[in-house]
Chains A and B, each alone.
Chain A
Amino acid sequence: MSAIEGAGWALLGLLTLSVGALAILRPTDPAGVLNEIRLAAGFDRYEAAMDEGDRIHSTVVAELRRTAKEDLEGRQALYAMLEEAADRYEIARRESEGFYEDQRAQIRLARTYMLWARSLHEDGTGAWYQRNDEETLRRARAVVDRGLALPDIPGDRRVELEELGTRIDRALTPWPIL
């Protein structure tokens, strides 16, 4: 077997593997593919995880604007993406070297939890004559608690999370005056 033929077989294997990887992993963005390759290869994993988290977060921000509140399936898919973004920031936290890198990842994580909980709060509260969706509101409260559990987020972000938590608690309580 000549060198060119060997290269041809290698190329065929590569093309076939690419088809299999694309079909199984189902990437949706070239930047996402690059970030995942960087993460898998262990090359600058902290920045790769932060970039991927930012990419997913900004995609969700854009998509939430054009997804109707009634489109439950679409919104659930976006919440799954926020979970992915949070996973990436957690990876970044594990890969961080020193306090400031860890804090940077925590701030992004808190921002993601804030977006997620606020959106769930909107989903769970309807018009004044409609009953609130308590299950959704409890999920929102759990997400807020995950944000509040982060040790090194700035004070203003913590206050925002606490205020949102209070609003959710009020929506959950049938008689707010009590």
Chain B
Amino acid sequence: MADPLTERRRALGLCLLLAAALLVGGLDLPARGYESFRYAMFGFTSGLLGILYTFALVSREVLWRPAGWIGTLLLVYWAAATAMLFRVLLPPPGLVQVGLAIVAAVGAGVIVSRRDRDGAVLALGTVTVILAVIRFALVPVFWARSGLPNWGPVRLGASADAVRDFFVAFAPERPASQALHFLALALWVIALWLQWEPPGDHRPAGDHRSDRPA
């Protein structure tokens, strides 16, 4: 039987890490304009994905959920921090985001279909890498190379901007922004890591291993 006091303290530590991820993940450092920084909360799409993934991870017993109010509180912080993780990983609104949100939703189905916890975390990692590559590698290159000049009265540049915004309304950010967002992801992963071995009576059925995720 796990000690309730220890459980509560452990849950508190996890909530602190997730709250820090929520705080850091929302900070953007725009490269243009007068704003030195901007805090952007997750939107509707990211929020829904956060709830979906929290449900999937809890159902696969990847996330430890203690009994009572502390379990509910922990679940709220997991859902909010996961939603922020998707805000960081999904590209800005546009057709590209639509496609990737569908990929992420399908990924939640894959997680639920995994039999073991390692497989579920691996599926989550794969979705994360796909989103990150498109968000941080593909979209900026597409944006930088798809502009057109204005030729006198023929304003091709404005037309090109409108077409680009239909695909992805990209707003360039300073390089330090990526470091902040990576820190938020790292805090989320540390929280996952620290709760990987649940207390005795919360250990998943048939899971007697104590190995941590790679």
Contact = CB atoms under 8 A, between A and B. Distances in A.
A12 B16 contact: yes
Interface in B18-47: 19-20, 22-23, 26, 33-39, 41
Contact of A26 (B8, B13, B20, B39): B39
Interface residues of A, number: 20
Contacts of B12: 5, 8-9, 12
Interface residues of B, number: 19
B34 A28 contact: yes
B143 to A, nearest CB: 19
B174 interface: no
A63 B36 CA distance: 13
Contacts of A30: 36-37
Query: Lowest 8 A-B CB distances belong to which pairs?
Result: A22-B39, A28-B35, A15-B19, A23-B41, A59-B34, A29-B36, A8-B12, A63-B34
Nearest to A29: B36
B36 A12 contact: no
A11 B17 CA distance: 11
B42 to A, nearest CB: 10
Contacts of B37: 27-30
A41 interface: no
Contact of A29 (B20, B35, B39, B41): B35
Contacts of A29: 35-37
Contacts of A59: 34
Contacts of B202: none
Contacts of A18: 23
A76 interface: no
Contacts of A9: 12
Contacts of B41: 19, 23
Contacts of B8: 5
Interface in A1-34: 5, 8-9, 11-12, 15-16, 18-19, 22-23, 26-30
Contacts of A15: 16, 19-20, 22-23
A29 B15 CA distance: 28
A40 interface: no
A63 B33 contact: yes
B26 A11 contact: no
17 contacts: A5-B12, A12-B19, A15-B19, A15-B22, A16-B19, A19-B41, A22-B23, A22-B26, A22-B39, A23-B39, A26-B39, A28-B35, A28-B38, A29-B35, A29-B36, A60-B34, A62-B34
Contacts of A26: 38-39
B114 interface: no
Given A28-B36, A30-B36, A8 B13 contact: yes
